[in-house]
Each structure stands twice: as C-alpha cells, then as structure tokens.
C-alpha cells in the first residue's frame, strides 16, 4: 500500500505559486485601500457639513466648520457657538491625504452658506487613482462627487 500525502517538492511549488500571486495582487490591493480611505474621508467631511448645517438651524445662530489647525488634512472641528469649551464636533487628522477647501464654511441660522461662491473640498489620498469632491451649494446642502472638483 502506498502512503498518501504531498511530497516536499509539491508543497514548495504551491508555496512559490501562492507567493507569486500575492506579490502580483499587492499593488492593486494598496490602490483599493487608498480609494476606500478617500471615500471614507469624503463621507466624514460630508457628515460634518450636514451636522454644522443642522446645528445652525437648531440653534438659530451661525455655526462654523473650520480646519482644526492650519489645513483641512490636520482635521476639522465645529466650535460650539454658545460654549467655547465644548465643541460640537472634532475630527482628527487624515494622514496621507491632501484636502483643499475654503478657509471655513459658515452656516447661517436658516441653513444657507454665508458665502457668495459655493464652497467645495477636493480630497486626494496617497496611492488612490482618483480624487473625491464634496461640494456645498449656496442653500447649504452638501453632496459627494466621485471625481475631483
């Protein structure tokens, strides 16, 4: 009766083929992850804009969405208009991203944007094949776009 199983050579061939296929798939996987990071960042910025608008309407006062530091990739925040010590929302930094946008987005008590030009944010993440865009119309409603602004 013959013994069943794999020989060492068969096992090494399978491991070599698996390593080769993994090496071929890694760059595509990195691009996929970067694209998902860009999508996630744009969705989080969209949610912050919706929150700022709803807070302006609810509180019947101006509410501002602004960068946490000097640039948007450093994060963003919504200061509390009535209690400066407790912000409405804070978002941390987005490493590996470049976010270009206005200095701040100010919502009026009626939910409209206090600006003559509609603000927009262009989001690029290192390794992603395309940019994402978050645009705000003058009525204050944000929308997502799957391409750059």
As beta bridge partners, residue 128 has none
Cα 5 to chain center, whole Å? 50
pLDDT score at 32 = 82
Classify residue 32 by burial, with Cβ atoms within 10 Å: 0-12, 13-18, 19+. middle
Q: Which fold has domain 8-145?
A: minor pseudopilin epsh fold (3.55.40)
Classify residue 89 by burial, with Cβ atoms within 10 Å: 0-12, 13-18, 19+. middle
pLDDT score at 146 = 85
Using 50, 70 and 90 to split pLDDT, how confident is the model at 105?
Answer: very high
What pTM was computed for the model?
0.80
- Summarised one tens digit per residue, pLDDT across range 35-73 is 889 899 999 999 999 999 999 999 999 999 999 999 999
Domains in the chain: boundaries? 8-145
Number of Cβ atoms within 10 Å of the Cβ of 72: 26
Question: Is residue 127's pLDDT more than 90?
Answer: no
Question: Is residue 33's pLDDT more than 70?
Answer: yes
Considering the chain, what percentage of its residues have pLDDT values greater than 90? 65
Question: Is residue 1's pLDDT more than 70?
Answer: no
- Name the 3-class secondary structure at 107: strand
What the block records as the tokens of 140 is 């204050």
CA-to-CA distance for 35 and 32, rounded, in angstroms? 5
């Amino acid at each position: 009766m013959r013994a069943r199983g794999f020989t060492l050579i068969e096992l090494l061939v399978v491991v070599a083929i698996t390593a080769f296929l993994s090496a071929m798939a890694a760059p595509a996987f990195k691009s996929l992850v970067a694209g998902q990071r860009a999508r996630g960042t744009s969705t989080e910025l969209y949610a912050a804009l919706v929150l700022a608008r709803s807070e302006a309407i609810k509180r019947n006062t101006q509410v501002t969405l602004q960068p946490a530091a000097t640039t948007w990739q450093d994060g963003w925040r919504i200061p509390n208009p009535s209690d400066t010590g407790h912000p409405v929302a804070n978002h941390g930094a987005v490493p590996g991203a470049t976010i270009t946008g206005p200095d701040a987005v100010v919502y009026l008590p009626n939910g409209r944007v206090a600006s003559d030009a509609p603000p927009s944010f262009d989001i690029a993440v290192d390794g992603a094949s395309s940019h994402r865009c978050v645009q705000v119309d003058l009525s204050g409603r944000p929308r997502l776009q799957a391409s750059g602004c």
